[in-house]
Structure 1
Amino acid sequence: MIHVADTNNLSQLAIHKVGNAGQEEPLILSPSNLNLDDETVANLLLNYFIQPFVKNAEYFHFTHDADIELNEIYKYCSLIFDDKDQFHEQSIHIAKHLYKSSTHPKIKGGELYIVYFDNCQVDGEEMEAVGIFKSETKDTYLKVFLQQDNYGVNYDDGININKLDKGCLVFNTKRDEGYKVSIVDSISKQNEAIYWKDAFLQVQRLEDSYHQTETAVTMCKEFIQNHLPNQYEMNKADQIDLLNKSAAYFKENEQFEMDEFAQNVFGHEDAVASFRSYKEQFQKDFRLDVPDEFDISAPAVKRNQKDFKSVLKLDKNFHVYIHGDRDKIERGYDELTNMQYYKLYFESES
């Protein structure tokens, strides 16, 4: 959980205009910090910057192939943490670095906000943070106003304070490991958005319990849905039963233990051995590390619960939601109609 409760903790703010360098759009640098004298504006900005991060439990860290000190954003943030008087100078360097990274033809120009937070609460700990935020999308707003004895309507373009396009919070902790970093990118699925995380920030996900849980959930889903059916005769109801057992394990346990999970979910020794073998191949194929034991992250389980789908789709006529007892559903074939069927057993309906 990330939280900044007081606008007094938003101690410094610089705004620069960063265009698309590839399109020869300008880079406009402000000569000084912005004075936040209006408390209403300060509160609106604080909500705009922080709200998208509140429920973000996924963290990254700065990286570099040769030396972490050569990562530009890591270096500029370190100089700010060492000396707050360098804030504005380093905010200019950050803006210039973003400008050099903005060469893809679809990257939109926009305002870049660099913020220094005196006190930011992260997962129960209080620390300093540097925020880097970019607004790219402009919305059109109607203005209704009273003009003499009648109303008039006009419009203007502005920033939607409920939608942050891109953001990054760098927390002053784990400096030797590349800091603890949280990221927001509202258009991250588009190719041109890769520049924010990879070219500009150069970050990788932290190998923490969140990442380990998320990776394990993906691995288990892939094994049940794609690998097991190639080895054993399984129908969709059997797969859903295994997905339900997997979901229950992640929800009910605080720690993942590979052997315990495999025995609880798959039971049969051949399937357990197949899962162990698949885990090794999964790690090699995706260059990921899935420890045999790790703490289960509840936020990661909640975010990825959609992976454990319990819906059995039958043609275009029926969706059957299977939440438990696999023994109460039977599959068969009817020779008269030349169709397959499921038989459901229940005590009451509602």
Structure 2
Amino acid sequence: MIHVSDIHDLEKLTIHKVGNASKEESLVFSQSPLALEDETISNLLLSYFIQPFTNNAEFFRFTHEADLNLNEVYQYCRRIFEDRETFQEQSVNIAKHLYKHSTHPKIKGGELYIVHFSKCQVDGEEVEAVGIFKSENRDTYLKVYLQDENYQVNHDDGINISKLDKGCLVFNIEAEEGFKVSVVDSISKQNEAVYWKDAFLQVQRRADSYHQTENMVNMCKQFIHNKLPTEFELNRMDQADLLNKSAAYFKEKDHFQIEEFAEEVLGHPEAIESFKSYRDHFERENQEAFPDNFDISNAAVKKQSKVFKSVIKLDKNFHIYIHGNREMVERGFDDQMNMHYYKLFFDSEA
């Protein structure tokens, strides 16, 4: 959970204009931080910057293929934390770095806000933070006002404060490991990894409970869908049953233990052995370790809940959603119709 409670915690704010370099759009710098004298505007800005992050449980860290210290944004944020007097200088460096990576023809120019928060609460810990936010889209607003005892209507364009386009919060925690970083990109899901996360920020997910839970959920789903049917006589009903058992395990448990999961969900010794072998294969393929034990992140389970949806699609006529007892569904073949069928048992209907 991320939270900033006081507008006075928004210590410094500067705004630069960053265009698309490939279109020869300009890069314009403010000469000094903005003077935040209006409390209403300060509150609106605080909501605009922080609200998209409040329930974000997924965290990243800065990285670099050669040396963490070669990551530009990491270095500029670190300098701000070490000496707040360099805030404006480092904000210009951040804008220049973003401009250098704003070359794809689909990237829109916009205002870049660099913010220093003196206090920001993340997962119950109060630390200072640097915020990097970009607005790319503008909306049209109607203005209704009274003039000469009659109401008039006009329009203006501006930024929708309930829709942050791109953002990043860098918390002054674990500097030597690349800081704790939260990222938002609500515009370009397809190019998100290339432009904002990979090219500009150069971040990767932290090996925390959220990341570990998400990885294990995805691995379990692929094992049930892709691996088990090739080794055992497993029909769609059996797959649905295993997905339901997996979902129940992650929702009911606080801690993942691979031996416990294998016994409770799979049960059969040969299936358990296959699961462990598939885990080893998955580690090599993804070049990432999957620990035997870790705390389960409820936020990750909630986000990945669609992975466990058990749906059997029958031609183009029916979808059967399996939520519970596998024994309440029976599969067979009708010789007279020369077709397969499902028989459903139930006590009542809504």
3-state SS of 2:340 partner: strand
Query: Residues 98 and 200 of structure 2 are in contact (CA less than 8 Å); yes or no, is this contact kept in structure 1?
Result: yes
3-state SS in 2 of match to 1:14: strand
Question: 1:17, 1:28 within 8 Å by CA — same for their partners in 2?
Answer: yes
- Counterpart residue number, 2:235: 235
Task: Please report how far the alpha carbon of residue 321 of structure 1 lies from its aligned counterpart in structure 2 after TM superposition.
Answer: 2.6
Q: Aligned runs of 1:317-328 on 2, under 5 Å?
A: 317-328=317-328
d(CA) in 2 for partners of 1:202, 1:349: 52
- The alignment yields a C-alpha RMSD, in angstroms, of 1.4
1:206 corresponds to: 206
Determine what percentage of the aligned residue pairs are the same residue: 66
Q: Does 1:95 align with 2:63?
A: no
Structure 1 residue 320, shift from structure 2 partner:
2.7
Where does 1:44-59 land on structure 2 (aligned, <5 Å)? Answer: 44-59=44-59
* Aligned mates of 1:53, 1:177 — CA distance in 2: 22
The answer to whether residue 108 in structure 2 is matched with residue 105 in structure 1 is no
The TM-score, its normalising length taken from structure 1, stands at 0.96
1:277 alignment partner, SS class: helix
Letter in 1 for 2:301: V
Q: Does 1:12 align with 2:12?
A: yes
SS of match in other structure, 2:129: strand
Deviations 1:248-276 (A, max 9, x none): 11111111111211111111111111111
Matches within 5 A, 1:11-50: 11-50=11-50
2:222 maps to 222
- Do the aligned partners of 2:240 and 2:311 also contact (CA within 8 Å) in 1? yes
Render the CA deviation track for 1:21-80: whole Å, top value 9, x for unaligned: 111111100011101111111111111100110111111111122221221111111111
* Secondary structure of the corresponding residue to residue 66 of structure 2: coil
In 1: Cα distance, 2:232 partner to 2:187 partner:
40
Q: Which amino acid aligns with 2:206?
A: L
Q: Distance in 2 between matches of 1:168 and 1:132?
A: 5
- Paired position in structure 1 for 2:312: 312
Long gaps (5+) in structure 2: none
Alignment of 1:140-179 (within 5 A): 140-179=140-179
The aligned length equals: 350
Contact persistence 2:185–2:192 (CA under 8 A): no
Query: Which stretches in structure 1 are left out of the alignment for 5+ residues?
Result: none
- The worse-fitting range, judged by mean Cα deviation, of 337-346 and 6-15 is 337-346
Q: Does 1:118 align with 2:118?
A: yes
Q: Secondary structure at the match of 2:152?
A: strand
2:298 corresponds in structure 1 to 298
| Paired residues of 2:330 and 2:342 also in contact (CA < 8 A) | yes
**What's the secondary structure of 2:291's corresponding residue?**
coil
- TM-score when scaled to structure 2? 0.96
* C-alpha contact (below 8 Å) 1:104/1:192 kept by paired residues: no
How far apart are 1:283 and its partner, in Å? 1.3
The Cα of 1:155 is off from its aligned counterpart by: 1.6
